Amino acid sequence: MKISDLGEFPLIDRVARIVGVERADVVMGIGDDVAILDCGGEDWLLAKVDSQVEGTHYRTDLITPRQLGRRALAINLSDIAAVGGRPTHALVSLALQADTDVAWVDELYRGLREEGDRFGVVVVGGNMASSPGQAFIDVIVLGSVQRDHAILRAGARPGDSVLVSGRLGDSAAGLRLLLDASLQVSEAEREPLLARHLTPVPRLLESAVIAGSGLATAMIDLSDGLSSDIGHVCERSAVGVRLWEEQLPISAGARHVAELCNEPGWRLALNGGEDYELCFTAPAADAGGLAARIEKQTGTAVTVVGEILPKDEGRWFVLKDGREVELGAGGWDHFAAG
């Protein structure tokens, strides 16, 4: 069997069964986005790796090396944000073709430095290897989280509200603009969408407010797409969910791009992926107050987009016209055919 037949998440489950070991110092091990380790200190240690593969995650004609450096670090910082943590250090592993320009590498590291400086993260090591083919960039981020502030995927309870930070679908809209020059929008619409795709902002400030509130019951960052990522929360928490199209925070720009692509805007928001916004749950009674607190302290809008159901009630998406459709994982699967 090929890994494309199995799919990314079943493959991760499969290898987790091979290497997974119950150990007192492993709070959260393989299969989640961030490893949480109890090394005996006051805080838990966080460790996360994510890669940018040339040809899979980026094309050098569509992203500058400085943007790529920022992005490669930012997507890892987003995972630290997803558990309410604070990033501290990074390592960078590169495999590059021997004829890569030194100036390109310089710019990549300037982007890493820029993003790191913004969030107090210093690059402390890494590896350089030659690649016979495309380039690979792996960024590893270490961080910490207060033991009583860590927010996992497993805590959502029926009756909780589902909240998201920022807007959804901008990154997917930006990617479409990058890939299809025939899509014409104004510069004022185009630039923010491109920026949201190329240099997403990890929601660390928002995460700190959420973690500090003690109100969130579960959290994840939106890397693959809301439909996929909320599915991970449902699995770990053993719950169902109902999301409402009407509530999805979609920018006018993303709606415009969706229209040009003859798609409903909700599809970009639900399945688009790479928004790196936070999706979290909190008791319904607290949701409004928490959203207001985050907006006030960070300036980032927070929206209630759904509610957690008992597991046996399933996972649903409610369209504006009232139809309910089953919520499948429409997000990114690395090994899915086509």
Residues 112-171 that bind a copy of itself (CB under 8 A): 112-113, 116, 122-134, 136, 138, 140, 142, 144
> Is residue 25 a contact point for a copy of itself (CB under 8 A)?
yes
Question: Taking CB under 8 A as the rule, which mask of x and - marks residues 78-97 in contact with a copy of itself?
Answer: ----------xx-xxx-xx-
- Based on the shown chain and the rule CB under 8 A, indicate whether residue 109 belongs to the binding site for a copy of itself: yes
3-state SS, residue 141 = strand
Query: In terms of CB distance, is 123 or 318 closer to a copy of itself?
Result: 123
Considering the complex, what minimum distance in angstroms separates the CB of residue 154 from a copy of itself?
16
CB of 249 to a copy of itself, least distance (A): 28
Q: State the nearest-atom distance from the C-beta of 219 to a copy of itself, in Å.
A: 17
- Written as six digits, the tokens of 204 are 């660390």
Rounded to a whole number, what is the distance in angstroms from the first to the last CA of the chain? 17
With CB under 8 A as the contact rule, the residue among 12, 62, 261, 318 that binds a copy of itself is 12
DSSP assignment of 248-265 equals: ----HHHHHHHHHTTS-H
Could you count the other beta carbons within 10 Å of the beta carbon of residue 211? 23
Select 116 or 202, whichever has its Cβ closest to a copy of itself: 116
Closest separation between CB of residue 337 and a copy of itself, Å? 7
Nearest residue to 238 via CA among 311, 321, 153, 306:
311
The set of residues, in sequence order, having a beta carbon less than 8 Å from that of 322 and lying 6+ positions away, is none
Pairing of strands 302-310, 86-96: unpaired
Q: Is 181 in the site for a copy of itself (CB under 8 A)?
A: no
The string over 2-32, giving b where at least 16 C-beta atoms fall within 10 Å of a residue's C-beta and e elsewhere, is: eeeeebbbebeeeeeeeeeeeeeeebbbeeb
Residue 59: count of CB within 10 angstroms of its CB: 11
Three-class DSSP category at 333: coil
> Closest distance between a copy of itself and the C-beta of residue 202, in Å?
17
Residue entry with tokens 């805007």: 265
- Span 28-67, contacts to a copy of itself by CB under 8 A: 28-35, 37, 39-42, 45, 47-51, 53-57
Lookup: tokens for 7: 């799919």
Residue whose CB is less far from a copy of itself, 299 or 338:
338
Choice between 316 and 335, CB closer to a copy of itself:
335
Q: Measured from the CB atom, is 129 or 181 closer to a copy of itself?
A: 129
Q: Under rule CB under 8 A, which residues in 223-242 are in contact with a copy of itself?
A: none
Rg, C-alpha atoms of the chain: 20
Report the residue number, 1 or 188, with the smaller CB distance to a copy of itself.
1
x-or-dash pattern for a copy of itself, window 316-335, by CB under 8 A? ------------------xx
